[in-house]
Amino acid sequence: MEQHPYGSFTSPKENVYAKWYVDAKDYYYAVSEALMAAKEEIFIEDWWLSPELYLRRPPAQNKEYRLDYLLKKKANEGVKIYIVLFDEVPAIMYLNSKHAELALHHKNIKVFRHGENTFFANVEWGLHMLWNRLFPNAESIKHPDTDPVAYWTHHEKIVVVDRNTAFIGGLDLCFGRYDTHAHKLADFPKFANFSEVWPGQDYNNVRIKDFVEVQKWAITLISKDVSARMPWHDISIGFIGAPAVDVANHFIERWNYIKSRNALNYFIRCSHPLLKKSVASDFLEEDIRTYKYFNETTDVDSTKGTCSVQILRSVCRWSHGIEIEDSIHQAYVQTIKEAQHFIYIENQFFMTGNDEKSIFHNMIGKALIERIIRAYKNNEKFRVMVVMPLVPGFEGQFDAEMAVALRITLEFEYRTICRGDGSIFEKLKQAGIQNPDEYISFYALRTHDKIDSEAVKKAKDQILSKMSQELSSKVSPVLNLVNDPIITEQIYIHSKLMIVDDEIVICGSANVNDRSQLGRHDSEIAAIIRDKDKIDSKLAGKHVN
């Protein structure tokens, strides 16, 4: 067997204990347990981090689990905490990583903010805006790689505790992500005994109003008495033992690379230490730990799990100081080619190359087409199911001047799926498949709810801070109570997941687009997991194990 499949920086690790988390309630709870148990080190990397995020809800009953309070508590206990945040372009992004850095100031908490050419990206954005003002009718569709405002981000979502427990996936520790399996649209839900669950900007619907001035986290951007929040569906995974060491080493490489880029900064040179990498063999001896999850406790041996786990990533010289690694993309393509029965994909985006002529360079679509055609020619039962957002998560109506990104994203997704000779559906028809939807289908999710007007009215006076009262009139609609209005909204799919034949999972931070897959753009991390623990089941009407 190849030692490092898919061109990854590390090899598969066997006998691993791994756990999936569907939606943020379970994930944030598990992360809070891990952080509370930290003895020596915590590593965190996020695209966006909100210090005021509550990892457990409702907030009124879980104040100690606000992220900044929890991290400072561990720092006061002597735990060393290292955080890497994407250093955004302030002119076009709301993340305010500087606020997160300042809010987490502590002698035992070290924060790096890193991005590519922030100064030049600001200049580029300014020129782009000037062009739009001079030529307002010159809107054109361009490839995302060459868009004038394109720049690359650190998109990983990583938490590592004591180099033995790691979490990766689609969930940043930030506002707008917390949700349950019920995907409630209104605040003060029954499951929280009608207490507030989403305070301030955490009650969000990006289609109505995107985040702004996130340092003013207590203000409300949409009115809870008339507007639905946008539910957030996401997947993350956790594991202990050897793969956690690989994730830790990935973080350490990033940390040390950023430090080297700041070698002339005396403050950073003195205050931000180089980190030493670990080897997996340090953790291969029997290590039984007790994990608490809600009201259950589990004793876990990090060397006696049932999964094979290999860490994958997208990195390059700008993001990691090394040559391009696109092991996530290679794993997607190869796993699709080897699929026997079905492929299930959940992803925030679906923009992929269907042949070598495509404007997209990731070949996930091409691999899907070839596998479906092979099934058709061999008269095999084979299905591909793709779940994605009904509408991309950008503010504004479709015809609004500001909604350029929304229209471009939809256009490219339609071109990938069904519009034009190069689309998946047309390629399959050209191969003789008259009904491509017998092999591949696309889905989105929507839900409905009822606003508890009386609960909103009672809470308005009780929970809004002085700052919120001063500012809410500037950003929120006037209270306009209707008798428990019915509301509806899409469930926003943010997952980055592929399941193949109920045996193999790829899960991480990478979207199905060139930014995430090619390695030379956004930095990403993922894992490919093979589970050896079989159960009796049915697949295509047949009993399988």
Active site residues: 155, 157, 162, 494, 496, 501
DSSP string for 420-448: STTSHHHHHHHTT-S-GGGTEEEE-EEEE
Running DSSP on this structure, what letter comes out for residue 508? E
**416-425 long-range CB contacts below 8 Å, 24 or more apart?**
416/350, 416/351, 416/352, 416/354, 416/360, 416/365, 417/350, 417/442, 422/354, 422/355, 422/357, 422/358, 423/354, 424/354, 424/365, 424/368, 424/369
Task: Tell me the torsion sign for CA atoms 193, 493, 215, 272.
Answer: positive
- Largest Cα separation within the chain, whole Å, is 68
CA 527 to each of CA 49, 96, 197: distance values in angstroms, whole numbers, following the listed order: 22, 29, 31
Give residue 439's Cα distance to chain centre: 28
Query: Quick count: other Cβ atoms within 10 Å of Cβ 8?
Result: 23
CA dist., res. 91 & res. 88, Å (int) = 9
Query: Tokens representing 318?
Result: 């700008």
Closest Cα to residue 431, out of 529, 356, 354, 507? Answer: 354
CA dist., res. 522 & res. 368, Å (int) = 23
Closest Cα to residue 174, out of 192, 208, 201? Answer: 201
Residues in the chain: 545
Give residue 116's Cα distance to chain centre: 20
Give residue 490's Cα distance to chain centre: 18
CA dist., res. 285 & res. 271, Å (int) = 34
- Is 18 buried (19+), middle (13-18) or exposed (0-12) by CB count in 10 A? buried
**532-540 long-range CB contacts below 8 Å, 24 or more apart?**
532/306, 532/307, 532/308, 533/306, 533/307, 537/502, 539/341, 539/342, 539/501, 539/502, 540/341, 540/381
Which single residue is written with the structure tokens 């591949």? 440
CA dist., res. 76 & res. 266, Å (int) = 26
**Element counts in the chain: helices (H) and strands (E):** 14, 22
- Which stretches of 398-535 are DSSP H helices? 404-417, 424-430, 453-463, 466-475, 514-517
- Which stretches of 211-314 are DSSP H helices? 242-261, 266-271
CA dist., res. 528 & res. 498, Å (int) = 9
* 3-state SS class at 414: helix
